[in-house]
Structure 1
Amino acid sequence: MGRPVLWVGVALLALVSAGCSSAKDSGTSAGYNAAAPEAATQKVAPQQGNPQEKAPAPAAVQPVQEQERQLVRTATVDLRSDDVRKAVSQVKDRAQGAGGFAGQENTTSTYGSVTVRVPSNQLDTVVDGLEQVGEVTRREMRSEDVTDQLVDVEARIATQKASVERLRVLFERAGSTTEIAQIEGELTKRQSELESMQRRSESLKGKVAMATLTVQVSTTPLAPPQEKKAGFGGAFAAGWDALGTAFRWITVGVGGLLPFLLVLGVPAAVVIYLLRRRRVTRTNEAA
């Protein structure tokens, strides 16, 4: 009898302790809830009392930081130099010194043209340094913003990667030969599209990273490119030029066919003449 009474006493003691703990937690929670509005009121009160201390609205909501623009930069420079080959060599040396490399080159004793690739952030420095190579007669720089294209391509790449992964999972779970063939064909197609997008992205990034500089060197100043005339006069001039070009091509074509006409056309005309004469003679004899 003693042990059951002891266990009952222990159980009653545990229940009483749990009740006291719950009451204590409830009281603490209620006190915290009651104090919270008061604390909030105390925090807001100074701002309401002094409007000048209010934080400006734009500071509360920071705008999304604009993405850095991705620019494809190109430049064209015309130089006049007495030594064309030396000037072209100096242009290539300056490009390599800036971390770039030389591309297409066409050089004679009186004219030279070279295309180099330099880091985009070094393009202005390289172009400015060309004044020490020769006399700058023309300088043109352009920038093309490809940020939207890169963002679009990267988004497509991410989507295509997810699609390829889903197809790979389905390929592993395929049970029949037909399912395997269908999924494998679609997986190959999407993988090819993904690789094409990745090459497009790498190409754009390469153009952004490395600017293209074309330098033309001549012993005499090069004539600047003529601007296209707009309006009726420009259209008339363009049409007249087109007519002259067409006439020249027709003349060239006739000149090319004339030897064949002389070699083949004259004998053919003689044969036709003899055949007709013979036919007329036979007709007269029959009559």
Structure 2
Amino acid sequence: MLWVGVALLALVSAGCSNSNTSGSAAYDAAPPQAAQNNAAPQEKQGQGNTPAAVQPVQQQERQLVRTATVDLRSDDVLKAIGEVKNRAQAAGGFAGQENSTKERGTVTVRVPSAELDNLVKNLDGQVGEVTRSEVRSEDVTDQLVDVEARIATQKASVERLRVLFERAGTTAEIAQIESELTKRQSELESMQRRSESLKGKVALATLTVQVSTVPIAPPAPVEAGFGSAFLAGWHAVVTVFKAITVGVGALLPFVLVLGVPAAAVIYVLRRRKRVTRTNEAA
């Protein structure tokens, strides 16, 4: 029995080795097209593992609200302000608030955001001497995306309520749905106005130009420290004390007009009460 088992094990081993050899030989003898087909899944799998960083990524255009402030020195303030307004209109914008005298003036204009840098650059030397220039940008992309998403959701909600309004059968249902529909329609219009306002600020930048015959002093830098904090606190105390003094001064006439007669009446009543008690005791 031992020798029979050994013989059977040898036959099984030989059969397995022959099958492996035949499989390898068949793969080697296969035509190139078959070899390419066998390799294709591996290549596709390799392509699937390609890092995402290699693939191009589209970046969303950022929505920026741009504002600028420019200080100009010019011998003719009114002429300089007029030139600023003309340049803003030539760039496709318009003039806003204006406040000017012969010595000092301020004008605010709205221009396309793409033209802001060129307009600020051309002011120096052509309109006056630029003593200070500041340009700021605020990213409102997330706000616009959020508002647009809310608008889409609110529109869908309004449409659903309109369908329910058409299917309402009783007067109570009609009144309830109409009230809710009016409320949501008002919220939708508010969101749309918010979106239009943001888009308007993005499309048109705000430029404020201050013109003076003498150089305008730049704003003093704020120094952080114990001394500045103490001065700020002291100014706050003085402001509060002045407010209290003004309040007392405003109330004093009422006290004199109404308080003195009231005190006199109370004194007379108490004196009469004391006299009555004395007489009763006697």
Deviation, 1:247, is: 5.1
Q: CA deviation at 1:57?
A: 2.4
Give the aligned partner of residue 214 of structure 1: 208
Which of residues 73, 79, 82 in structure 2 aligns to 1:89? 82
> Does 2:104 match 1:111?
yes
Aligned residue number for residue 23 of structure 1: none
- The aligned amino acid for 1:188 is T
Where in structure 2 are the equivalents of 1:1-287 lying within 5 Å?
38=34, 41=37, 44=40, 57-58=50-51, 62=55, 64-131=57-124, 132-246=126-240
Any idea what the Cα deviations from partners look like across 1:16-41, whole Å, max 9, x if unmatched?
xxxxxxxxxxxxxxxxxxxxx94961
Determine the C-alpha separation between the residues in 2 that align with 1:179 and 1:39: 72
Counterpart of 2:106, as a letter, is: S
How far residue 253 of structure 1 moved from its aligned partner, in angstroms, is 6.4
Aligned letter for 1:84? V
Q: Which amino acid aligns with 2:103?
A: T
Q: Provide closer, same or farther for how the CA distance between residues 45 and 192 of structure 1 changes in structure 2, counting only shifts above 3 A.
A: closer
Aligned-pair CA distance for 1:56: 9.3
Give SS of 1:75's match. strand
The separation in 2 between residues aligned to 1:117 and 1:60, in whole angstroms, is: 41
Q: Percent of aligned pairs with the same residue? A: 71
Deviations, residues 103-157 of structure 1 (Å, cap 9, x unaligned): 0100011110001000000000110111111110110010000000000000000
Residues 218-275 of structure 1 show CA distances to partners (whole Å, capped at 9, x for unaligned) of 11111111222223222112123333444555666677789x59x969xx69x97xx9
Q: Structure 2 vs 1, CA of residues 152 and 63 (structure 1 numbering), >3 Å: closer, same or farther?
A: farther
Paired letter, 1:89:
G
One-letter code of the match for 2:65? Answer: V
Of 224-233 and 198-207, the range deviating more from structure 2: 224-233
Distance 2:129 2:250 in 1: 45
* CA–CA distance in structure 1, aligned partners of residues 92 and 146 of structure 2: 30
Amino acid at match of 2:111: V
CA distance, structure 2, for counterparts of residue 252 and residue 219 of structure 1: 39
CA distance in 1, matches of 2:49, 2:131: 53
**How many residue pairs end up in the alignment?**
237
Letter of the 1:147 partner, please give it.
Answer: T
**What SS does the corresponding residue of 2:79 show, helix, strand or coil?**
helix
Q: Deviations over 1:1-57 (max 9, x none)?
A: xxxxxxxxxxxxxxxxxxxxxxxxxxxxxxxxxxxx949617739969xx9xx8992
Distance 1:182 1:64, change over 3 A: farther
3-state SS, counterpart of residue 191 of structure 1: helix
Which residue type is aligned with residue 114 of structure 1?
V
Q: Which amino acid aligns with 1:44?
A: A
In structure 2, distance between residues paired with 1:249 and 1:220: 36
**1:6 corresponding residue in structure 2:** none
Q: What RMSD over aligned residues (CA atoms) do the two structures have, in Å?
A: 3.7
SS at the partner of 1:228? coil
> C-alpha distance in 2, partners of 1:40/1:114?
74
Runs of 5+ consecutive residues of structure 2 not aligned to the other structure: 1-32, 276-282
CA distance in 2, matches of 1:195, 1:40: 62
TM-score of the pair, normalised by structure 1: 0.70
Structure 1 position 66, deviation (Å) = 1.7
Inter-CA distance 56–178: structure 2 relative to 1 (3 Å threshold): closer
Residues 254, 156 of structure 1: CA spacing in aligned structure 2 closer, same or farther, 3 A cutoff?
Answer: closer
Aligned to 1:57, the other structure's residue is in SS state coil
